[in-house]
Amino acid sequence: MRRLSFLLSIFSVAHALNISIPRLAPATAPVVSPSLISLSIEMDRWIDWAGTTSRNQFFFNTLDNLKQITGSPPQIRIGANSEDHTDFRQDAEFAQAVFPPPTAVVPYPEASRIVVGDSYYATTRFLPPNTHVTWGVNLGSNNVTAAVLEARSIAKAFSSPGIKSAGIVLDYIEIGNEPDLYKNNGLRPSTYTTSQWVTDWLKFAGNVSTAAGITATSHTKFLGASFAGSSHSTSGFSPQAAFQAGLLTGPGKLISAISQHRYSGSFCTGSGGLLQDLMTKSTIRGNLTVFKPDIEATFAQDLDYILGETNSYACHGAPGVSNTAGAALWTLDYALFATQLKISTVFFHVGIGFKYSLIQPITLTRSTLDGTTLPAPAPAHVQPQYYAAIIAAEAIGKTGNAKITELTINHAQIAGYAFYEGSKLVRAVFINSKAYLPESTTRTSVHLDFGFTGDGATAPASVSVRRLATGRATDVSGVTWGGQSYETSDGRVSGALKVETLPVAAGLDIQETEVVLVEFH
């Protein structure tokens, strides 16, 4: 018996991981936005999200949940692919959209044409109070009049009493979506260059700035670039190439942030990615660190840098990957790591019926996975990725000036981030990105032991712990956070909160496909 106890002890020590946590915020730790995880919404079905004559209460609730935790709602960008297929007509009520037929690969395709009127933009009033918004206007159709009419209507909406009294503000107008792809999708010749795009953009921006009242002193500014990819150099499409081509001249001086888009792979032709590949710690870091030259070039121009559209796999996600519990871990690690590159906001793209949507805000009758008719309609619901937004909000807290630093953890599957209020250590998040799959026979755990470095603060004595509980990494429902569920008919949390209290010296175990939030006392 003594020998068995000794062997078990040796096994435990061999699988323990020592985590070193600074007592005080490192000087390099950036302030993290309360709305770090925000939403990019496909424009064609915006009114399904917002509502028409009354708000979509389910969608409002899911945003308000996050606002209650951090004090700030997620930022909302409305645009993307259908942004460049939108026209304005004064007598149009809300929106009139034409959609191509659904396919097994893309069960809910974007509209090929959408016509909107004033009432369409006015529905912005249904967002939570104090929401910060980005609206896109059409560059792809090369119709300056359409862009001007859209911009004028957007400005009219944001000057209306309902939106102004709610404190909902227009941060940016985005002129065009992914112009680097215009040469591939027929919106421009195949020889289209960055210089030609800059000429187009400046022409539109001069007219749009007048229509929308964008000036050097206005709050609203332009969002620049919005490229699908990057050469990361002064050739091809990139922020560097755009700056060199004169983007920041004339009306380009009204750009205050650069946006780029990023997906971890593509499902556009039906080819998907493995869930473990998506979740893997090194892959996440590799997919983001390639933007370092772009970020540095942007900061050199004294501009903010955001990921204005991102998610797992392009073309609305991969079935059995993008809609799973494992994708929730990817979302959380991806967003938190982005802060370490000084990316201020990460806009996860969503759309009606998209596999990677954090939220499905209306009842669906077709499968999001293959487009077949569902045996029974699926009511509005959150998907596992939504829990990543909740966890990030809990970790960031309500101060508005929390700082974050990634912890140095020499383990291929364990990531960790410490959060500070002022300079004081308050919380940490740990992620075990090992996928616990249906074929897995054993769910392993890693034991974390905490040590504290630096002077000037007393090391904490105890911790309270909340866990993201999942069955398997491939599960599409049944996820809980601290024992509670957001998989409810109204999007509000239900169930009793479960919190473990442990002495710091005991450490804790984290199993495959699990997240723990540690609060230090």
What digits encode the pLDDT tens for the residues 402-422? 999 999 999 999 999 999 999
- Separation between Cα atoms, residue 61 and residue 502, nearest integer Å: 33
C-alpha R_g of the chain = 23
Contacts of 361 (CB under 8 A, 6+ apart): 48, 49, 56, 58, 59, 62, 352, 380
Phi, psi of 84 (to 5 degrees): -90, 15
pLDDT band at 6 (very low <50, low <70, confident <90, very high): very low
397 sits in the region (left: phi over 0; alpha: psi -120 to 50; else beta) called left
pLDDT at residue number 457? 73
| Domains defined for the chain, CATH in brackets | 2-28+399-520 (2.60.40.1180)
CA distances from 194 to 209, 247, 502 (A): 21, 10, 56
Q: What average pLDDT does this structure show over 329-352? A: 98
pLDDT for 369 beyond 80: yes
What number is the average pLDDT over the span 145-167? 98
Residue 128 in tokens: 């939570």
Give CA angle at 197 (215, 224), nearest 5°: 40
DSSP state of 409: -
86, burial (CB in 10 Å: exposed 0-12, middle 13-18, buried 19+): buried
Element of type H or E holding 293: helix 292-300
Written in H, E and C, the secondary structure of 184-222 is HHCCCCCCCCHHHHHHHHHHHHHHHHHHHCCCCCCCCEE
The pLDDT value recorded for residue 13 is 37
Contact criterion met (CB below 8 Å) for 459 and 504 = yes
Beta bridge partners of 20: 451
Evaluate if residue 458 carries a pLDDT over 90: no
Q: Where are the beta strands (DSSP E) in 48-163?
A: 76-79, 86-88, 95-98, 113-116, 132-137
Q: Give the per-residue pLDDT at 272.
A: 67
Q: Is 451 exposed, middle or buried (0-12, 13-18, 19+ CB in 10 A)?
A: exposed
Instruction: Please tell me whether residue 111 adopts helix, strand or coil conformation.
Output: coil
DSSP 52: S
pLDDT in tens, 302-312: 999 999 999 99
In sequence order, what DSSP letters do the residues of 301-319 get, joined into one string? TT-EEEEEEEEEEETT--T
Which residues is 78 bridged to in the sheet?
A: 41, 135
Q: Are the beta carbons of 464 and 499 closer than 8 angstroms?
A: yes
pLDDT of the residue at 267: 85
Q: How far apart are the C-alpha atoms of 240 and 481, rounded to whole Å?
A: 42
Report CA-CA distances (Å) from 103 to 48, 343, 372, 434, 508.
21, 35, 9, 32, 46
| Side-chain half-sphere exposure of 475, counting CA atoms within 13 A | 17
Mean pLDDT of 220-244: 97
Q: Is the pLDDT of residue 11 over 70?
A: no
CA 107 from centre of chain: 22
| pLDDT reported for residue 14 | 39
Q: Say how far apart CA 512 and CA 521 lie, in whole Å.
A: 26
Phi and psi at residue 170, in whole multiples of 5°?
-95, 105
Which residue bears the tokens 């990543």? 388
Residue 475 tokens read as 């599960």
Q: Which residues pair with 304 in a beta bridge?
A: 257
What one-character-per-residue DSSP string does 411-466 give?
-SSEEEEEEEETTEEEEEEEEE-----TT-S---EEEEEEEEESSSSPPP-EEEEE
Structure tokens at 344: 């201020």
- 386-397 in b/e burial notation, b at 16+ Cβ within 10 A? bbbbbbbbbbbb
Mean pLDDT value across residues 442-449: 97
Query: Using one digit for the tens of pLDDT, what is the confidence trace for 370-404?
Result: 999 999 999 999 999 999 999 999 999 999 999 99
Q: Tell me, what's the pLDDT at 12? A: 37
Burial class (CB in 10 A: 0-12, 13-18, 19+), 189: exposed
What is the average pLDDT score of the chain? 95
Question: pLDDT digits over 32-83, tens only?
Answer: 999 999 999 999 999 999 999 999 999 999 999 999 999 999 999 999 999 9
Nearest Cα neighbor of 415 from 441, 446, 440 is 446
The total of other beta-carbon atoms located within 10 Å of residue 148's CB is 18
Asked if residue 147 has pLDDT above 70, the reply is: yes
Contact assessment for residue 176 and residue 142, using Cβ atoms and an 8 Å cutoff:
no
Give tens-digit pLDDT for 168-216.
999 999 999 999 999 999 999 999 999 999 999 999 999 999 999 999 9
Strands 37-42 and 16-22: unpaired
pLDDT of amino acid 271? 66
How many Cβ atoms are within 10 Å of 335's Cβ, its own excluded? 25
Provide mean pLDDT across the span 133-151.
98
Q: Report the DSSP beta bridge partners of residue 77.
A: 40, 134
pLDDT at 268: 79
Length of the chain: 521
Helix (H) or strand (E) holding 347: strand 346-350
Percent of the chain with pLDDT over 70: 97
pLDDT at 459: 83
Phi/psi class of residue 417: alpha, beta or left (left: φ > 0; alpha: ψ in -120 to 50)?
beta
Amino acid 3: pLDDT: 43
Q: What is the three-class DSSP state of 386?
A: helix
